[in-house]
Structure 1
Amino acid sequence: IVKQLVELMGGTITVASQLNFGTRFTISLPLEIHEVEEKVVEKETLKANDVLDNLSVLLVEDNKINAMVIRKFCESINLTVENAYDGLQALDKLASNQYDLIIMDNHMPNMSGIEAIQKIRDELKLTTVIFACTADVFKEAHDEFIVSGADFVLTKPLQKNSLQNAINEFHHQFEVNRHHSANAHNLTARAF
């Protein structure tokens, strides 16, 4: 199968084997390198990193060990983290503080993540980026989060690279929300 795929791409595959030593497979593919594209990707990554450096996160997670692990992931990529231990506490914090990102667990006492997200969208009218976080791997559960207003669903156990990739993917949205927040703040300041 590999040989057929390589040949379809105009390449070659060779095998060298040595007793008691091992086997080496060498694949050669005629691929072009586009420097311009690499520079664009590099530029986007740098831009995303600039945004990441100042991101504030509200982590809503009732399990203290999960909360500690996710906090460490966030802090290792220079994010500032504040904890809430259920949906009600999250709504209290969101009523008086601004965050760039909300990471929301689902199964929590007092108020579930899905209910909290619905209230954040419908009652608080916030456009803050929300990453839902669940151990549930079924599509229906993920869809329910998205329908409630989550922007993205992370699966537990959370991996650092999954979190980093999701944050990079939404870096434009963080910039847009920041811009709107700054404008709203200026308008409020002028009103007084």
Structure 2
Amino acid sequence: MCNLYTMTATVDELRRMFGPFDGETANLPPFDEIYPGKPAPVLRRTGGKMKLETMTWGFPGPAAAKGRPVTNVRNLDSPFWRSALQAPERRCIVPVTRFCEWTAEPDPVTKRKSKVWFGMQEGSEPLFAFAGVWRPGEGGPFMAFLTCEANRTVGAVHPKAMPVILRPADALRWIEGDREQACALALPFPDADMRRIELTS
């Protein structure tokens, strides 16, 4: 389950990737570490236009989740997600520059699990997006994003699932398509187009 990502692209980079939008469009700070419960930039359709705004990552959890926020949409047929997936206006684009999965086993020295980062192939645009859904709520809007079967690149670290990654050409279909068209995008991203990122200290 992805529970950490970054979004360090500028507003101009967002516009080049996803087209024009309204909203808070000046002095967007870098979001170096976005964890569940933290604010994150999101693009959504409202009144026929795209709008950039900040939402909290994680839907308020149902009683079965003991109140914990639900950050990843795993079961697309679950009643919990039905209304958000059915209505195009409740879908959103979550801009990302890299995301993290944690190793299954702790490091033998530190006794802690290690972060492994993933992003687009070197030489390509580092900005991409997750397929997200959002809902209004007390304290502001909340968002979560879809997951799907992991590809080989992510699956080597986290075999259960990976986020649903949208190409720019797919973003409009995700936002405007009917439920069947939108959910058809929930596929593993091609291994050839992404990589494991080795960070240097």
TM-score, normalisation: structure 2: 0.28
Compare the two structures and name the one with the higher helix fraction.
1
TM-score, normalisation: structure 1: 0.29
Larger radius of gyration: 1
Larger RCO (alpha carbons 8 Å, 6+ apart):
2
